[in-house]
Amino acid sequence: MKRFRAGVIGAGFIGAVHIEQLRRLGNVEVAALVKTTGPREKAEALCVPAAYTDYREMIDREELDAVHICTPNSTHFEMAMYALEKGLHVICEKPMTCTVAEAEELNRKAREKGLVNAINFNCRFYPMVYQIREMAKAGELGDIFTVHGSYLQDWLYLDTDYSWRLEPELSGESRAFADIGSHWIDLVQFVTGLRVTGVLADFAVFHKNRKKPLKPIDTYSGMALRPEDYRLTPVKTEDYAAVLFRLENGARGCCTVSQVFAGRKNQMVVEIGGSRCAVRWDSENSNALWIGRRGSANNELVKDPSILCAATAGITGYPGGHVEGFPDTFKQNFKKVYDAIAGGIPDSPDYATFEDGLREMILNDRIVQSAREQRWLDL
Ligand X SMILES: NC(=O)c1ccc[n+]([C@@H]2O[C@H](COP(=O)([O-])OP(=O)(O)OC[C@H]3O[C@@H](n4cnc5c(N)ncnc54)[C@H](O)[C@@H]3O)[C@@H](O)[C@H]2O)c1
Nearer to ligand X by Cβ, of 92 and 141: the residue is: 92
Q: Which is nearer to ligand X, 123 or 308 (CB)?
A: 123
Pick 12 or 349: Cβ nearer ligand X: 12
Query: Cα–Cα distance between 162 and 93 in angstroms, integer?
Result: 20
Q: Which is nearer to ligand X, 11 or 277 (CB)?
A: 11
Cβ closest to ligand X, residue 58 vs residue 135: 58
Q: Is residue 35 a contact point for ligand X (CB under 6 A)? A: yes
**Nearest approach, Cβ of residue 371 and ligand X (Å):** 20
Tell me: does residue 72 bind ligand X (CB under 6 A): yes
Min dist CB 375 to ligand X, Å, is 28
- Told to check if 36 binds ligand X by CB under 6 A, we report yes
What is the total count of residues that contact ligand X (CB under 6 A)? Answer: 23
- Select the residue interacting with ligand X from 28, 31, 43, 70 (CB under 6 A): 70
Q: Rounded to the nearest whole angstrom, what is the least distance from the CB of residue 251 to ligand X in the complex?
A: 26
Identify which range of 10-18, 59-67, 139-147, 184-192 contacts ligand X by CB under 6 A: 10-18
Binding status of residue 13 toward ligand X by CB under 6 A? yes
Q: Which conformational region is residue 264 in: left (phi greater than 0), alpha (psi within -120 to 50 degrees), or beta?
A: beta
> Is residue 107 at the binding interface for ligand X, with CB under 6 A as the rule?
no
> Which positions lie near ligand X, rule CB under 6 A?
9-15, 34-37, 55, 70-73, 75, 93-94, 120, 122, 164, 179
